[in-house]
């Protein structure tokens, strides 16, 4: 069985440090997602959709759904087991989800501006959750095959 340097008990980068590192990027992505969602919704001025409280409630629900993958990483930081394969797979998933998500949000909000750009807040989290599940499964499988 192959042992990797980062997976050994004598590694310089413990799993707790990887978990903390994988929580920093989602925190930045969370704030950026909220800012882009508010910018794209434009709830100020005489926007017809926000003349009643229901528009603000819908905006809040869309923001919560769009931020749910990032909240998973933030909540998972404290509860993550001290296992190198799980920590590394969590870090890779955080990098893919956060960088990919921010790129797609910026593309929809600032580059390819379209009336249907707001749909990114519905469909992007679905793909982000699939990536999280895939890499969590890979980490669990790696842990089962190679051990910690």
* Greater pLDDT, 18 or 53: 53
Q: Indicate if the pLDDT at residue 144 is higher than 50.
A: yes
Residues 3-50 pLDDT 10s: 444 444 555 555 667 767 777 899 999 999 999 998 888 877 777 777
Are 124 and 40 spatial neighbours (Cβ–Cβ below 8 Å)? no
Span of 28-42, 50-64, 80-94, 104-118 with lowest mean pLDDT: 80-94
Alpha-carbon torsion (112, 64, 38, 100), positive or negative: negative
pLDDT of residue 139: 83
**Cβ-proximal residues to 111 (8 Å cutoff; 6+ apart), any chain:** none
State mean pLDDT over 121-140. 92
The secondary structure of residue 44, as a DSSP letter, is S
Among 62, 84, 70, smallest CA distance to 27 is for 70
7 token code pair = 């997976």
* Greater pLDDT, 81 or 127: 127
Q: Indicate if the pLDDT at residue 69 is higher than 90.
A: yes
Are 45 and 79 spatial neighbours (Cβ–Cβ below 8 Å)? no
Q: Indicate if the pLDDT at residue 112 is higher than 60.
A: yes
Alpha-carbon gap, residue 32 to 75, rounded angstroms: 18
This prediction's pTM: 0.80
Alpha-carbon gap, residue 14 to 62, rounded angstroms: 36
Q: Indicate if the pLDDT at residue 79 is higher than 50.
A: yes
The secondary structure of residue 51, as a DSSP letter, is S
């Amino acid at each position: 069985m192959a042992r990797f340097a980062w997976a050994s008990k004598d590694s310089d980068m413990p799993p707790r440090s990887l978990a903390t590192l994988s929580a920093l990027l989602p925190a930045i992505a969370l704030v950026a997602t909220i800012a882009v969602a508010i910018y794209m919704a434009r709830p100020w001025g005489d926007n017809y959709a926000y003349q009643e409280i229901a528009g603000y409630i819908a905006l809040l629900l869309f923001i919560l759904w769009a931020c749910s993958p990032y909240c998973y990483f933030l909540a998972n930081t404290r509860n993550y087991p001290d296992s190198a394969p799980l920590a590394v797979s969590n870090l890779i998933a955080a990098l893919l989800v956060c960088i990919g998500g921010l790129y797609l949000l910026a593309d929809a909000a600032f580059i390819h501006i379209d009336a249907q750009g707001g749909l990114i807040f519905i469909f992007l989290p679905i793909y982000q959750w699939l990536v999280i599940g895939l890499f969590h499964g890979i980490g669990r499988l790696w842990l089962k095959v190679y051990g910690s």
